[in-house]
């Protein structure tokens, strides 16, 4: 066992969610400037609020490594190290702590899933944290003043707010349809035995 408490079931879920994020990228991107508007951020929010911080970190981490090793897993079939030298690098790297924070907030209570904790998680993690890394890195890479990069990022806000609402609605529907999705590997199969 590589990481304590992280077993095959968690690994499989992280990999599946990474694949979902990749597939959401196939839906395409809207090029509104140097950083695209993409549905993949919805996948990042969902990973956080559904899988919880640990598995979401692995899921998003997988996507980032796949980008780095040169697979076209980002929207519009982009990938490769060039992305990490480009203006969207900060947002992209921000997905990782973003998903973790989303998971921490959404799952901050052991009680039943709640719509407001889910929404808050998606908002703070999926927007707050992602932008907090994305804006400064974009400013640095493009050699522009921070406030300009910040103003420029306003173009993502409407779309990202919609994604927060979608992530919340989808997570709650998923909880009705398949509550096990929200349990950890060990809990999802209580009596099952693992090596």
CA distance linking residue 151 with residue 6, whole number of Å: 41
Q: Is 35 in the site for ligand BTN (CB under 6 A)?
A: yes
Cα separation, 133 vs 128, whole angstroms: 9
Cβ proximity to ligand BTN: between 51 and 73 the closer is: 73
When binding is defined by CB under 6 A, the residue of 17, 18, 21, 36 that contacts ligand BTN is: 36
Would you give the binding string for another protein spanning residues 100-139, x where CB under 8 A is met?
A: ----------------------------------------
Contacts to ligand BTN from residues 45-74, by CB under 6 A: 74
Write the interaction track for another protein spanning residues 158-177; mark x where CB under 8 A is met and - where it is not. Answer: --------x--xx--xx-xx
Q: Does 154 bind another protein (CB under 8 A)?
A: no
Long-range contacts of residues 61-68, Cβ cutoff 8 Å, at least 24 apart: 61/96, 62/14, 62/15, 62/18, 63/18, 63/21, 63/22, 63/95, 64/92, 64/93, 64/95, 64/96, 66/18, 66/22, 67/92
The least distance separating ligand BTN from the CB of residue 129, rounded to whole angstroms, comes to 10
Beta bridge partners of residue 30, listed in sequence order: 37
Rama region for 157: left / alpha / beta (φ>0; ψ in -120 to 50; rest): alpha
Contact letters (x/-) for ligand BTN, 69-98, by CB under 6 A? -----xx-------x----x--xx------
Assess 92 for contact with another protein (CB under 8 A): no
Count of beta carbons in the 10 Å neighbourhood of residue 195: 5
Q: Is 60 in the site for another protein (CB under 8 A)?
A: no
Angle at Cα 102 formed by Cα 70 and Cα 97, nearest 5°? 45
- Residues at the contact surface with ligand BTN, assessed by CB under 6 A: 35-38, 41, 74-75, 83, 88, 91-92, 130, 134, 156, 159-160
């Amino acid at each position: 066992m590589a990481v304590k408490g992280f077993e095959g079931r968690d690994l499989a879920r992280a990999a599946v969610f990474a694949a979902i994020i990749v597939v959401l990228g196939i839906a395409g991107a809207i090029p509104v400037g140097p950083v695209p508007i993409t549905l993949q951020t919805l996948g990042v929010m969902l990973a956080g609020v559904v899988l919880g911080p640990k598995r979401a970190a692995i899921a998003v981490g997988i996507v980032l490594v796949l980008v780095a090793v040169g697979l076209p897993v980002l929207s519009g079939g982009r990938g490769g190290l060039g992305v990490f030298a480009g203006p969207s690098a900060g947002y992209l790297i921000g997905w990782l702590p973003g998903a973790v924070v989303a998971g921490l907030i959404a799952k901050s209570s052991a009680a039943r899933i709640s719509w407001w904790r889910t929404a808050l998680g998606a908002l703070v993690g999926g927007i707050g944290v992602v932008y907090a890394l994305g804006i400064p890195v974009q400013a640095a890479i493009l050699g522009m003043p921070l406030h300009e990069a910040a103003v420029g990022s306003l173009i993502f806000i409407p779309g990202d707010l919609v994604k927060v609402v979608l992530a919340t609605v989808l997570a709650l529907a998923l909880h009705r349809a398949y509550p096990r999705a929200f349990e950890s590997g060990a809990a999802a199969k209580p009596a099952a035995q693992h090596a």
